[in-house]
Amino acid sequence: MTLNAPARRRPAPPEAADSAPPDASDGHVPAPRGLARRRRALLAVVIGCLVCTAAGAGAATLIKSPAQAAAETVAPPPDVLTAPVARKVLAQSVVTRGKVTASRRVEITAAGTAEGVGRAVVTKVMAEPGAPLKAGQVLMEVSGRPIVLLQGAIPAYRDLMPGMTGEDVAQLQKALAGLGYPSGGDARGVFAAGTEQAVTRFYRAVGYTPATSQAEPTSAHADAGTRTGTGATADAGRPAATGERVTTVPLAEVAYVPSATARADTVAAEVGDEATGTLLSVSSGALVVNGTLASYEKGLIRPGQSVQILYEATGKQASGSVVSVADAPTKAQDGDTPQNGQSYALRVKPTKALGEDFNGADVRLTVVAASSQDKVLAVPASAISAGADGLTSVTVRTGSREHRVAVRVGMTGDGFVQITPEKPARLAEGDQVVVGIQSAGRS
């Protein structure tokens, strides 16, 4: 049996394919080109309509009628601000600034020159500005001679030598004894052999030989004053022969301060300078605080009022009291000048001695001008109101309800006012009183 293969169809040329009718056997009849274009146009129109609709809806949310805009700009109801009634000690305070300084300031100058010295020149400077000092310390050297710090209240006013008597001699004896150089059997205030030996030992200890000068005629008081019952040496009252060289303490070589410690405030001299004018200034004695008050504060402050002292740089606090308030105004300095350009000096004494770290510090002073002593009912000053009927009152708020309570006012302090209700049962600690109205904002 012979099978005949189907005859192969020869592909038509491109031109024939384009012109040939569609083959129904494929099951697909392509749409005409015009119909496809109409479909695309219709789709574009639909999309455009959707876009316009969305834009219109968005614009509708932005465009408002005048009535709608007015309704939305009406302010929300205000908030009522309240504060609790407190029971506290009221204190009326005045806050100012102060400078901690020593109670005594000594200006040290070159008072003359030693024998045989032609010029007074600064040859050494041992003290530095702000440095602590102590009794027995050499501050500087002028023409090879020392200026020594000693403890005493009386400034040196003359050269001291054997045979002299007086309170300045007694002060020298006490200062040397405090440094470990007692005057032996010399009577108090009598410069005799024991004092001369103490001076010599002290000078050698600080690295110098004591100055000498020609002796003056000896006073009989010096001779008698050396004979005490404490074992005076046989020659303690021996008068020095006129013209004899004796140990001397020149006034130019000692500087007295009230306490055993001090502080160098300023050092004006340098090595090589002519020793003229003030060479350095030293502060000593108990630390005090000097402040200023404006004219409107002066009437509130008086001696004896308590003061809180705060050294903000370290956080340390101390208490004190007002010592004095100046009667006459002075020009304020260092940026503390009040608007009227006048200020009044204020001095504060610490209750306990301040530490040396307070020396020179700028501190805040809070002066308690008045106090209620005991706890009282108090409200912020803004809670007090006076009506047209002359009634002084506060407004108490409970929930959303408010009612006035008549009160009598007392002292004020730190923004609070003491109150006493006319009817005590109507006001108590913890009640909320109206202090103001605040417009509520919109989020």
Task: Please answer whether residues 436 and 394 qualify as being in contact, where contact means their C-beta atoms are separated by less than 8 angstroms.
Answer: no
Domain boundaries, the chain: 81-89+373-438, 92-100+285-371, 105-282
Q: What is the Cα–Cα distance from 385 to 389, expressed in whole angstroms?
A: 11
pLDDT band, very low/low/confident/very high, at 221 (cuts 50, 70, 90): very low
CATH number at 92-100+285-371: 2.40.30.170
Pairwise pLDDT comparison (54 vs 6), residue with the higher score: 54
Does 377 score more than 90 pLDDT? yes
Task: Please answer whether residues 285 and 100 qualify as being in contact, where contact means their C-beta atoms are separated by less than 8 angstroms.
Answer: no
Complete DSSP assignment for 45-87? HHHHHHHHHHHHHHHHHH---HHHHHHHTSPPPPEEEEEE-EE
Q: Which residues pair with 214 in a beta bridge?
A: 245
Residue written as token pair 């494929």: 26
Q: Is 364 helix (H, G, I), strand (E, B) or coil?
A: strand
10 Å Cβ neighbour count for 371? 15
The correct CATH number of 81-89+373-438 out of 1.10.260.40, 2.40.420.20, 3.30.2130.10, 3.40.50.1370 is 2.40.420.20
Does 441 score more than 60 pLDDT? no
Does 229 score more than 50 pLDDT? no
Q: Which amino acid is at 262?
A: A
Average pLDDT in the 140-162 region?
94
Minimum mean pLDDT range among 1-5, 84-88, 389-393: 1-5
Task: Please answer whether residues 398 and 366 qualify as being in contact, where contact means their C-beta atoms are separated by less than 8 angstroms.
Answer: no
| 235-264 burial code (b ≥16 CB/10 A, e <16) | ebbbbbeeeeebbbbbbbbbbbbbbbbbbb
- The 3 state secondary structure assigned to 108-134 is EECCCCCCCCCCCEEEEECCCCCCEEE
The angle subtended at Cα 301 by Cα 415 and Cα 407, nearest 5°, is 35
Average pLDDT in the 200-220 region?
84
Q: Is 25 helix (H, G, I), strand (E, B) or coil?
A: helix
CA contacts within 13 A on the Cβ side of 265: 19
Tokens of 150: 């000693």
Q: What is the dihedral of CA 224, 226, 228, 232, to 10 degrees?
A: -140
Query: Which residues, other chains included, contact 32 with Cβ-Cβ below 8 Å and sequence gap of 6+?
Result: none
pLDDT band, very low/low/confident/very high, at 115 (cuts 50, 70, 90): low
Residue written as token pair 């912020």: 380
From the list 378, 439, 383, the residue with the least C-alpha distance to 413 is 378
10 Å Cβ neighbour count for 103? 15
Task: Please answer whether residues 86 and 434 qualify as being in contact, where contact means their C-beta atoms are separated by less than 8 angstroms.
Answer: no
Task: Please answer whether residues 171 and 256 qualify as being in contact, where contact means their C-beta atoms are separated by less than 8 angstroms.
Answer: yes
Confidence at residue 217, expressed as pLDDT on a 0 to 100 scale: 60
Confidence at residue 247, expressed as pLDDT on a 0 to 100 scale: 94
Handedness of CA 168, 174, 179, 185 (dihedral sign): positive
Q: What is the Cα–Cα distance from 88 to 237, expressed in whole angstroms?
A: 72
Q: For 276-332, how does the pLDDT look when each residue is reduced to its tens digit (9 = 90+)?
A: 889 999 988 889 999 999 888 888 899 999 999 999 999 999 999 999 999 999 864
Confidence at residue 219, expressed as pLDDT on a 0 to 100 scale: 47
Pairwise pLDDT comparison (20 vs 138), residue with the higher score: 138
pTM of the model: 0.55
From the list 406, 399, 401, the residue with the least C-alpha distance to 426 is 406
Q: What is the Cα–Cα distance from 409 to 38, expressed in whole angstroms?
A: 92
Tokens of 22: 């569609």
Tokens of 431: 């009640």
From the list 399, 408, 400, the residue with the least C-alpha distance to 427 is 408
10 Å Cβ neighbour count for 62? 6
Residue written as token pair 């020609």: 214
Crossing angle of helices 167-178/193-205, nearest 10°?
A: 50
Q: What is the Cα–Cα distance from 360 to 334, expressed in whole angstroms?
A: 14
